[in-house]
Amino acid sequence: MTRDEAKLILQACRPGGQDAANPRCAEAMALAQTDPELAAWLAQERAFDASISAKLKSNPVPPNLRTAILAGEKVIRQLAWWHLINWRRVAACAAILVVGVAAFLFSLNKTQTILAATDEAIEIAQSRVTHLSLHTNNLAGVRQFFSKCRAPADFDVPSGLRKLPVMGGTLVGVQYRTASVVCFRITGQNYLTLFVMDELPDGTIPPEGEIKFVAQGEWTTAIWNEKGKTYMVHGKVHPNSLRRMLTQGRGAGGPLQVESGPPA
């Protein structure tokens, strides 16, 4: 068992020794006792879980919550990939991303502009590294993770991004769709965040073959549709640099059109 495999298993093991009888959990725990780096990571995970658990317990469940859920018009079947991830951690870590992207696209729909860059979008990009569900430099491994989770996995990575080191991936929900998220390192602590989801039907998304860019301070956001999927890229990078990375091999020409987002 490798360290990364142990991390995935330990994320799914419940705290308090409830899964001690599970052979995979027991093997991962045994490895953590002999691997100082894995042990330090596990200690941080447990501390994080404990803090989130305390915050969740501080907010009582509304007495009519179950009735309200059952009365909803649409019932979504739970995905059979819960065993891969500690859902309490992923839900908490991805909260800023889910809310940020949802508000981001809702603003896009209301204003009828292509990609109105918001503070939430910047927060999403800034928070990606520490909130990845899978840390790996292997893009094939990230795709396999997405595929097992029934998330978009057969997307095309622009040739310019393929040259950048992969940092890992995670999953979020965007407008009733599962979005696959991949982080690429540019230099040092600077990185690009790629979102891929089934194509959004809203008419403000640019037509296939066209990429729209929005600049907000030092940050640039790009969005485009391709082969039935919507792509978004956020990063602390100049629009011209991002355009070069995204259009390599596309033969895209003409002047760069960049919209200005709200002040940072």
Question: What average pLDDT does the segment 103-119 reach?
Answer: 41
For position 140, what pLDDT does the model report? 92
Q: How confident is the model at residue 65 (pLDDT cuts 50, 70, 90)?
A: low
In sequence order, the β-bridge partners of residue 212 are 223
pLDDT in tens, 118-175: 344 455 555 544 467 788 899 999 999 888 888 899 999 988 899 899 998 887 765 5
DSSP tag of 138: -
Which tokens belong to 22? Answer: 């599970």
Who wins on pLDDT, 197 or 116? Answer: 197
Question: What average pLDDT does the segment 99-111 reach?
Answer: 43
Q: How confident is the model at residue 254 (pLDDT cuts 50, 70, 90)?
A: very low
What would you report as the CA-atom Rg of the chain, rounded to the nearest whole angstrom? Answer: 20
Which tokens belong to 202? Answer: 């809203």
- End-to-end alpha carbon distance in the chain: 45
Residue 122 and residue 214 in contact, taking contact as beta carbons nearer than 8 Å: no
Q: How confident is the model at residue 69 (pLDDT cuts 50, 70, 90)?
A: low
For position 126, what pLDDT does the model report? 55
For position 197, what pLDDT does the model report? 84
What residue type is assigned to position 127 of the chain? S
Residue 222 and residue 212 in contact, taking contact as beta carbons nearer than 8 Å: yes
Average model confidence (pLDDT) across the chain: 70
Is the model's pLDDT at 243 over the cut of 60? yes
CA distance 193 to 170: 11
CA distance 176 to 2: 35
Q: How confident is the model at residue 38 (pLDDT cuts 50, 70, 90)?
A: confident
For position 131, what pLDDT does the model report? 65
